[in-house]
Each structure stands twice: as structure tokens, then as C-alpha cells.
Amino acid sequence: MIITKQKSAHVLVGFLLASFSAAAIGAYATGESVRTWYPLLNKPTWNPPSWLFGPVWTVLYIMMSVAAWRIWKLRDQPGVKFVLGLFFGQLVLNALWSILFFGLHSPGWALIEISILWSSLALLQRALWRLDRLAGWLWAPYLTWVSFATFLNGTIWWLNR
């Protein structure tokens, strides 16, 4: 199947919109809690400064969108539909974490949820490596960041139980 550059660009924009929609849901859920509830929690000394999260997530959402777009361009290959389904599923899980942690003030439930998210990201990482090495490299920082976030979430839960 021939893919025009225009259609390919539209699809990339669609992946970016999907990713940043998940980000917007997460930001909405985080909202007031990041200024009121979160500062009151006991956190480890290695907790990153608040200003770091926005830039890191912006870069990660762009990279994960480009990775998914690269896989979409291989859509005639076996397994691509499954990988893209996982991509959209992990976006739901990504937004859900913010709802649980910040919106519902529940680090414990968020820890369970982020463990499921991490598993889906690791599964995606493996599939991306097989389909497109560059997509796998683009995905790796996201998996690394969520690995760190899982450890941070667990530590915050432990310090505040």
C-alpha cells in the first residue's frame, strides 16, 4: 500500500494528539493536588523537583508518538495492530495513574496501576525492538522513566502509609 507523505504526516499528528490528550487528562487530574496535597506528603530526598516533570513528559510523549507512527507505517506486517492496540491501551493507563495518585490521593492504588502500566510498556518495548529498532530506541526512555516513577510511587506510598 502506498502511503502519501500528507497522510503519513496526518497520522503522526493523530498519534501526537492522542498522546497529548492523555497528558491533558493527567494534568487535569493533577491540577490542584500538586500544589495542595502533594507538597504535604513525605517524599524521598531523591524526589525530582516539580519543574522537571513537564519538560520530561513533553519529550516522552513526542518520542512515544513517533515510535507508534513508525510502527503504523509498517501496518501490513504481522503484529502491528496488536502493538498499536497496546500503545493506545497504555495511554489510558498513563492517564489513569494521574487520576489515582493525584486525583484520588491514592498512592497505593496508583502503585498497583503503574505496575500494570510498566508491564504493558515492557511488552511494547520488546515488540518495538522486533518491528523497528529506532521505534524501540524512541520507546526506551519512556520505559526507563516509568521504571523510576514506579520506584518513586512505591517509596512515597511506603513513607506515607
Burial of 103 (0-12, 13-18, 19+ CB in 10 A): buried
Query: What range does the domain containing 152 cover?
Result: 5-159
What does the pLDDT look like over 106-133, one tens digit per residue?
999 999 999 999 999 999 999 999 999 9
First CA to last CA distance, the chain: 55
Phi, psi of 132 (to 5 degrees): -160, 110
Number of domains into which the chain is organized: 1
Kindly report the CATH number assigned to the domain that includes residue 94.
1.20.1260.100
pTM comes to 0.93
Rounded Cα distance between 21 and 93, Å, is 13
Rounded Cα distance between 144 and 139, Å, is 9
